[in-house]
Amino acid sequence: MIIRLARPEDAPGLLEIYTPYVTDTTVTFETCPPTPEEFARRIEKTREKYPYLCAEEDGTLLGYAYASPFHPRAAYIRTAESSLYVRRDKRGRGIGSALEAELERLLRLQRVCLLTACITFPNPQSIAFHLRSGFTECAHFHRCGYKMGQWLDVLWLEKALLPFRDAPEDFLPLPEVFRAEDPPALWRD
């Protein structure tokens, strides 16, 4: 398995992973799957500043993870939100852990100090995964989403990636972290 930066042309394969989460679960609050064109646009937009990673084995996409702004205001620039999806028939193989570790490594290089995750509650698998990864619960919002005929809570978790210094270093957008436009593989098992 390799982990590499996702490219817009990966959109159809990544959408195959994401669509069942949209149509069959409450894991995401998105209610209609995006088009491949919209998904490709999301990859491009994310990579302007943040990592968008995919795990691949023998040409098959197994999962993906990306970071996004926690909030658009400038003071939040050293805080990011993570999202992670693994092909449902490939869970339990360490793919999510590998993606999460590589995402966090890159965010540290970007000088992100705090990583957050917003999880539909209940979602015991995702909550357990994040707690094992070092996240701690920081907020619980009740009945803030409605999907599949039910009101849903969200649980926010957080993880410090770097020390909180009085004068932190400036955030580095992803293109400034890599000298090459698109490294072939960031991680191999």
Say whether 142 sits in a helix, a strand or coil: strand
Tell me the β-bridge partners of 181: none
pLDDT of residue 187: 74
The single-letter DSSP state of residue 149 is T
pLDDT of residue 180: 55
Q: Which fold, 2-176?
A: Aminopeptidase (3.40.630)
Among residues 156, 82, 161, the alpha carbon closest in space to that of 123 is found at: 156
pLDDT of residue 31: 97
For the chain, give every domain's residue range.
2-176
Residuewise pLDDT in 10s, the chain (189 residues): 999 999 999 999 999 999 999 999 999 999 999 999 999 999 999 999 999 999 999 999 999 999 999 999 999 999 999 999 999 999 989 999 999 999 999 999 999 999 999 999 999 999 999 999 999 999 999 999 999 999 999 999 999 999 999 999 999 999 998 765 566 677 776
- DSSP class per residue in 33-83: PPPHHHHHHHHHHHHTTS-EEEEEETTEEEEEEEEEES-SSGGGTTEEEEE
